Chains A and B, each alone.
Chain A
């Protein structure tokens, strides 16, 4: 049977992709960010996951305002990097795992999550930057990916509690997939950042670190954080952290932290990264 062996959370700032693609990832500005992922790269090389269920948000790339799915799951064989206004990133295509994706999609719908199914889309920095952070610059990505896109742009976005429940349902879906697969769930985005208006540049390291703390152990307190708290405390784009809750709850009742990294700034954003494993 397929099993969820670990969870990873990471910011997905587009500038990190630029830094990697232009060889600046070890310079004075980006070195302290990328070095916080060195442990994870070695660990991933050792873990060799078969599939990542990669929770992310599309930033007006695959979805324009004509369709705004709250939860969408990619069931395609392959995804191309999106052209976000400066040409597509020169990174490998992302290979899907259509069998597992369709299994999860069907299972979630029967579990009363009304998923949007995507058979064709391009994937933007929300998805490709975390792959870069965890795997560097390979010829081909060493894993297959099931993209799970969450609307965190147009309000209301899903509640933290709903995200938590979705993660639990993903865990049930993966556990009922007959093939023996090593599956990780990644939650991406955040941490504190605001990209708009006179309040732009907001960073809240105290709140961010309390949120990182909340990912570890057996508390489910983070699921009850209301949207307004993310907005007030972490800036308008800090709401992306609801996606971390999907990863966290997919790991079951209790987690242990294997690695943790926090750095300010990257562009307008606080970088947060944590690696978790489920504790039976």
Chain B
């Protein structure tokens, strides 16, 4: 055993990473219906209903209006802030026919071409992006 962990220190550290929203229990609670909506797109029948009328489909889920608006706008950074998790949101962008790389690039402020070129050149370095408090 490693002994009890200080949960407050543990959770505070998770918020110290630049450009990252760790899917904590707090986010999971906030985003519960958003993520459950996204899961519903795992059947062909629901994907057809969704594509026919996205707003009407969303109206059937007890999500906040902010969450609905962000889904319609495909604003994935906003959806992370509203409790979305990328593996759930993947059902939305997969239904749109986007790959993980295409969808993920939209959160970085880079064009998909520039993002793809960065990945092919070895990816984004962690240098300077390890901590908000102590840039290193």
Contacts and interface: CB of A to CB of B under 8 A. Distances in A.
A15 interface: yes
The residue among A14, A84, A199 with the most chain B CB atoms within 10 A of its own CB is: A199
A265 B20 contact: no
A84 B14 contact: no
A195 B100 contact: yes
B130 A196 contact: no
Place the interface of chain B in its size category. 35 or more
Looking at chain B's contact residues, the main secondary structure is helix
A89 interface: no
B122 A203 contact: yes
Interface residues of A, number: 49
A45 interface: no
B25 A59 contact: no
Contacts of A201: 104-105, 108, 115, 118-119, 123-124
A31 B107 CA distance: 28
B55 interface: no
Nearest to A63: B39
B25 A155 contact: yes
Contacts of B20: 194, 196-197, 199, 231, 236
Contacts of A155: 14, 22-25
The residue among A83, A86, A197 with the most chain B CB atoms within 10 A of its own CB is: A197
A207 B130 CA distance: 13
23 contacts: A60-B39, A65-B35, A65-B88, A66-B36, A84-B91, A84-B94, A85-B90, A85-B91, A194-B20, A196-B20, A196-B104, A197-B20, A200-B104, A201-B124, A202-B124, A204-B126, A233-B126, A236-B20, A264-B119, A264-B122, A265-B122, A267-B99, A270-B123
A105 to B, nearest CB: 23
Interface string A52-87: 000000011100111000000000000000111111
